């Protein structure tokens, strides 16, 4: 394999003793859409700002096409960026904002005019070219910011929670725009968000950050179906975590015993242990309810059943007084849904359960 | 019942800030002005009435007519003084702008601690007595003063530089006094600047120099213009500094007025001179309102 397009190698940054970024390494291919996902304060923005050149790492290296970026000042890195806050130049019109990076590069007038037209078409704001940023909605401003960041054909586009100030509907609309722009331009994108749905919708790969480290890198399915740690499993999607006892383990599979004695076979063992206590992770949508009585499954009582349109969300109280979330799609519902107070068994296939344990 | 009072105050502030915002109703408008009445009354008594008296005097003393204005405009001295006044005010304004802009840039991009420290030092100098500061400059600028002696000791000059009793001395002294006003009038536009905007400019490929000219300066322009106008107008009427640091050969308008009143007892001519100065000032203000609107001209 040839050298990666962008290579982040063991970068670190400390602020007054706290490690904002702690030995983060990541290789990114040209044209890839990689999202940094993680809770607040996990070091996503700091990593992005190191790549942009606004934060100097205490250690590590950033290589673009095999050459170090760290000695290059921000304005010569050829990187585009869309910020969380609106950073359009308030004294310039939409068209002048988009033209700004080309003006400072002293490109010929005709080229600038063509590029501005092209960019306005790309973000679908042809009718707004003469407006000032103050006369645009938040979503429109971020689209102009996107156009401005792409106007000079940057090799990398950085986006730091560009949609966090927008409402859900507008966010989804602009997510669609960003996807389309990514496909049309083929630019390499590094995108920061703490919205998992946004990450899953947009990215080729997701790097999940926690405490300044990357917990796991992979596509959405990897993270969802093969979480490397309980943190990943807890962050992506909804999960039930059960305290269990490991009865037997062979290779990457194990047999576990739930607190009420029910034994689940063929459970997959996660790549990384979650600490001392063995924990079983069950996705609510991988569970189904069977009528109470003898048989497979964890016995329990329905304490809540909510109709959510496309599915029914149950809460089932187990014998050891833990509430398990169970989601049954309407299509999978044979007959009437279980009612509150009904005795049920919560069933699961071993291959859809995950064990986090130090084996 | 506190509610109506509170509303009235808010409306008064609203009209003050937004310039000509239409009042919602006659009742609201009447109440809205009430809090401003004491200040308006003070201005009326201490500014409008004396100005009116001065105008009348220039027109009526010693006889009704325009003879004071004729006398004023007939003398060569007056034109020389007027030219000198504009020269000094213009030079002081230009130098203040040239010093104030890099300072403002520093305040915008420096780490918060340093920005606050420097801002504090600049504004602190305003709290020292004006006369004391001017006398201090006299001591510093004399031919036997600290500056000249240091220059000679360093071998940079062989004879003392003429730093006092001329335009150089006046400019140095007045720029020093005016700089805090410039920094204060740049404070609001500086506070409105977003650091991320400069980061965006940098990533767009703008060098610091380009960011300064293409982003920083345009965004600061209204504050800069109102600051410059304020300083120019204040400099036009300055008295203490020019009379202490400037020589007798380059008199400014305020000095001339003082001379007319104190030595020559020509109140009418003095009134005419003062009134011409006021007319010039008002027309400059009008120009700025045309260019930047009421808010920009008022320093906001
Ligand atoms: N300039 C700074 N000075 C001191 N500490 C900082 C600075 N910038 C970031 N930090 C700290 O570094 C850690 C990581 O911050 P960072 O902004 O990278 O988080 P983030 O993942 O982007 O979070 P968010 O989702 O809230 O934006 C945080 O604990 C933060 O408090
Ligand atoms: Mg952040």
Can you give the residue ranges of every domain in chain B? 77-297
A37 CB less than 6 Å from ligand 1?
A: no
For residue B37, the model assigns a pLDDT of 87
Contact A286, A349 (CB under 8 A): yes
Q: How does residue A298 score in pLDDT terms, banded at 50, 70 and 90?
A: very high
Residue nearest to atom 28 of ligand 1 (CA): A41
And the tokens for A359? 């084996």
Q: How does residue A271 score in pLDDT terms, banded at 50, 70 and 90?
A: low
CA B14 to chain centre: 26
Q: Which residues contact B181 (CB under 8 A, 6 or more apart)?
A: B126, B227, B230, B231, B234
For residue A28, the model assigns a pLDDT of 94
CA B111 to chain centre: 29
Ligand positioned closest to the Cα atom of B111: 1
For residue B5, the model assigns a pLDDT of 38
Residue A51 has pLDDT above 90, yes or no: yes
Half-sphere CA count of A64, side-chain side, radius 13 A: 17
Query: Residue A141 C-alpha to ligand 1 middle, in angstroms?
Result: 25
For residue B71, the model assigns a pLDDT of 80
- Across A164-178, A212-226, B53-67, which has the greatest mean pLDDT? A212-226
pTM: 0.77
Average per-residue pLDDT in chain A?
89
A324 membership: H or E segment, kind and range:
strand A323-329
Q: Which of A247, A276, A272 is nearest to A354 (CA)?
A: A272
Q: Which residues contact A81 (CB under 8 A, 6 or more apart)?
A: A48, A52, A149, A157, A158, A159, A160, B199, B200, B203
Query: In the beta sheet, which residues pair with residue A300?
Result: A318, A344
Distances in Å between the alpha carbon of B56 and those of A157, B41, B262, B278? 70, 21, 19, 14
Q: Which of A194, A154, A148, A151 is nearest to A171 (CA)?
A: A194
Query: Residue A214 C-alpha to ligand 2 middle, in angstroms?
Result: 15
User: How far apart are the C-alpha atoms of A92 and A80, rounded to whole Å?
Assistant: 19
Contact B188, B300 (CB under 8 A): yes
Q: Do B215 and A75 make contact, defined as CB atoms within 8 angstroms?
A: no
- What is the 8-class DSSP label of residue B204? T
Distances in Å between the alpha carbon of B89 and those of A206, A269, B85, B122, B250? 62, 81, 6, 21, 13
| Mean pLDDT along residues A166-182 | 86
Q: Which of B239, B120, B271 is nearest to B174 (CA)?
A: B239
Residue A183 has pLDDT above 70, yes or no: yes
A55 CB less than 6 Å from ligand 1?
A: no
User: How far apart are the C-alpha atoms of A100 and A74, rounded to whole Å?
Assistant: 16
Residue B220 with chain A: CB contacts under 8 Å: none
Sequence-ordered alpha helix ranges (H) in chain A? 44-52, 94-104, 109-122, 138-150, 168-185, 196-202, 220-225, 230-235
Residue A231 has pLDDT above 80, yes or no: yes
Q: How far off is chain B from A24, nearest CA to CA, in Å? A: 23
Q: How far off is chain B from A95, nearest CA to CA, in Å? A: 14
Question: B207 and chain A: CB distance < 8 Å anywhere?
Answer: yes
Residue A152 with chain B: CB contacts under 8 Å: 204-205
Residue A148 has pLDDT above 90, yes or no: yes
| Mean pLDDT along residues A205-229 | 91
Q: How does residue A275 score in pLDDT terms, banded at 50, 70 and 90?
A: low
User: How far apart are the C-alpha atoms of B53 and A313, rounded to whole Å?
Assistant: 85
Comparing alpha-carbon positions, the chain A residue that sits nearest to B211 is A104
For residue A274, the model assigns a pLDDT of 55
For residue B3, the model assigns a pLDDT of 39
User: How far apart are the C-alpha atoms of B82 and B69, rounded to whole Å?
Assistant: 14
A156 membership: H or E segment, kind and range:
strand A156-160
Ligand positioned closest to the Cα atom of A212: 1
Residue B218 with chain A: CB contacts under 8 Å: 91
User: How far apart are the C-alpha atoms of A257 and A264, rounded to whole Å?
Assistant: 6
B196 membership: H or E segment, kind and range:
helix B195-203
Residue B210 with chain A: CB contacts under 8 Å: 104
Q: Which of A190, A156, A169, A159 is nearest to A85 (CA)?
A: A159
User: How far apart are the C-alpha atoms of B295 and B226, rounded to whole Å?
Assistant: 9
Find which of B196, B205, B209 to mutate to test the A interface (most A CBs within 10 Å of its CB).
B205
Find the CB nearest B204 among A54, A91, A104. A104
Residues B145-172 have pLDDT tens digits of 888 888 888 888 888 888 888 888 888 8
Give the orientation angle of helix B26-33 with respect to helix B3-18, to 10 degrees. Answer: 80
Peptide bond into A85 cis (omega under 30): no
- Among A104-108, A267-271, B282-286, B289-293, the least confident range: B289-293
Query: Residue A44 C-alpha to ligand 2 middle, in angstroms?
Result: 6
For residue B66, the model assigns a pLDDT of 82
Half-sphere CA count of B286, side-chain side, radius 13 A: 6
A54 CB less than 6 Å from ligand 1?
A: no
Give the orientation angle of helix B76-109 with respect to helix B217-236, to 10 degrees. Answer: 150
CB atoms within 10 A of CB B264: 10
Q: Do A104 and B205 make contact, defined as CB atoms within 8 angstroms?
A: yes
In a structure prediction context, what are the per-residue pLDDT tens digits for chain B, which is 300 residues long?
A: 333 333 333 333 333 333 344 444 444 455 678 888 888 888 888 888 888 888 888 888 778 888 888 888 888 888 888 888 888 899 999 999 999 988 988 888 888 899 889 988 888 888 878 888 888 888 888 888 888 888 888 888 888 888 888 888 888 889 988 999 998 888 888 888 888 888 899 989 899 899 999 999 998 888 888 899 889 988 888 888 888 888 777 788 888 888 888 887 778 888 888 888 888 888 888 887 787 766 554 443
For residue A193, the model assigns a pLDDT of 92
Q: Which residues contact A83 (CB under 8 A, 6 or more apart)?
A: A145, A160, A162, B196, B199, B200
Residue A54 with chain B: CB contacts under 8 Å: 199, 202
Q: Is the CATH number of domain B77-297 3.40.50.800? A: no
Between the two ends of chain A, the Cα-to-Cα distance in Å is: 34
For residue B191, the model assigns a pLDDT of 82
CB atoms within 10 A of CB B216: 23
For residue B98, the model assigns a pLDDT of 92
In this complex, how many residue pairs, one in chain A and one in chain B, have their CB atoms less than 8 Å apart? 64
Contact B65, B59 (CB under 8 A): yes
Contact A320, A235 (CB under 8 A): no
The SS3 of residue A141 is helix
- C-alpha torsion angle, residues B109, B114, B117, B121 (rounded to 10): -70
For residue B280, the model assigns a pLDDT of 84
Put residue B200 in one of left, alpha, beta given phi > 0 → left and psi -120 to 50 → alpha: alpha
Sequence-ordered alpha helix ranges (H) in B19-166? 26-33, 37-43, 49-60, 67-74, 76-109, 112-124, 130-141, 146-153
For residue B23, the model assigns a pLDDT of 42
- What is the 8-class DSSP label of residue A264? E
B285 membership: H or E segment, kind and range:
helix B267-298
Contact B228, B98 (CB under 8 A): no
And the tokens for A174? 């602009």
């Amino acid at each position: 394999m040839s050298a990666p397009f962008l290579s982040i190698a063991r970068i670190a940054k400390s602020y007054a003793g706290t490690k904002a970024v702690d030995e983060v390494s990541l290789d990114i291919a040209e044209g890839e859409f990689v999202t940094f996902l993680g809770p607040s304060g996990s070091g996503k923005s700091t990593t992005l700002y190191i790549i942009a050149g606004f934060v100097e790492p205490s250690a590590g290296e950033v290589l673009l096409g095999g050459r170090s970026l760290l000695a290059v000042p921000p304005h010569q890195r050829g990187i585009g960026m869309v910020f969380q806050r609106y950073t359009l130049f308030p004294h310039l019109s939409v068209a002048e904002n988009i033209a700004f990076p080309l003006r400072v590069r002293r490109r010929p007038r005709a080229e600038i005019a063509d590029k501005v037209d092209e960019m306005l078409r790309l973000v679908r704001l042809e009718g707004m070219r003469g407006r000032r940023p103050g006369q645009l909605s938040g979503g429109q401003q971020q689209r102009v910011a996107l156009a401005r960041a792409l106007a000079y054909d940057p090799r990398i586009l950085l986006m730091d929670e560009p949609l966090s100030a927008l409402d859900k509907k507008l966010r989804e609309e602009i997510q669609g725009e960003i996807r389309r722009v990514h496909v049309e331009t083929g630019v390499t994108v590094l995108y920061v968000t703490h919205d998992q749905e946004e990450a899953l919708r947009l990215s080729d790969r997701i790097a999940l950050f926690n405490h300044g480290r990357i917990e796991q890198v992979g596509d959405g399915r990897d993270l969802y179906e093969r979480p490397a740690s309980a943190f990943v499993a807890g962050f992506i999607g909804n999960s039930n975590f059960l305290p269990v006892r490991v009865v037997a383990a062979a290779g990457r599979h194990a047999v576990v015993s739930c607190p009420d004695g029910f034994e689940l076979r063929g459970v997959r063992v996660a790549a990384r242990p979650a600490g001392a206590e063995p924990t079983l992770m069950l996705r609510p949508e991988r569970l189904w309810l069977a009528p109470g009585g003898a048989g497979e499954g964890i016995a329990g009582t329905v304490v809540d059943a909510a109709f959510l349109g496309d599915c029914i969300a149950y809460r089932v109280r187990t014998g050891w007084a833990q509430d398990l979330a169970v989601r049954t799609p309407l299509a999978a519902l044979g007959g009437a849904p279980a009612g509150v107070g009904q005795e049920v068994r919560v069933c699961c296939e071993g291959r859809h359960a995950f064990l986090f344990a130090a084996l | 019942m506190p509610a109506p009072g509170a509303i009235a105050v808010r409306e008064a502030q609203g009209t003050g800030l937004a310039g000509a915002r239409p009042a919602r109703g006659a009742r609201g408008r009447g109440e809205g002005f009430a809090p401003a009445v004491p200040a308006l009354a003070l201005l009326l008594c201490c500014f409008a009435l004396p100005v009116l008296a001065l105008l009348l005097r220039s027109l009526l003393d010693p006889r009704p007519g325009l003879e004071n204005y004729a006398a004023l405009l007939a003398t060569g001295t007056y034109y020389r003084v007027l030219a000198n006044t504009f020269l000094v005010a213009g030079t002081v304004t230009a130098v203040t702008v040239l010093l104030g802009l890099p300072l403002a840039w520093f305040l915008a991009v420096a780490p918060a601690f340093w920005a606050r420290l420097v801002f504090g030092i600049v504004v602190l100098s305003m709290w020292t007595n004006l006369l004391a500061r001017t006398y201090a400059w006299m001591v510093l600028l004399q031919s036997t003063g600290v500056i000249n002696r240091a220059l000679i000791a360093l071998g940079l000059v062989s004879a003392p530089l003429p730093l006092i009793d001329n335009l150089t001395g006046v400019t140095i002294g007045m720029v020093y006094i005016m700089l805090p006003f410039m920094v204060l009038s740049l404070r609001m536009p500086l506070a409105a600047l977003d650091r991320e905007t400069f980061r965006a400019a940098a990533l767009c490929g703008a060098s610091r120099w380009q960011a300064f000219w293409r982003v920083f300066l345009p965004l600061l322009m209204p504050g800069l213009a109102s600051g410059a106008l304020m300083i120019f107008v204040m400099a036009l009427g300055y008295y203490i500094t020019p009379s202490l640091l400037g020589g007798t050969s380059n008199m400014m308008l305020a000095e001339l007025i003082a001379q007319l009143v104190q030595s020559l007892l020509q109140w009418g001519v003095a009134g005419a001179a003062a009134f011409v100065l006021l007319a010039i000032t008002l027309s400059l203000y009008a120009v700025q309102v045309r260019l930047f609107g009421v808010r920009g001209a008022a320093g906001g």
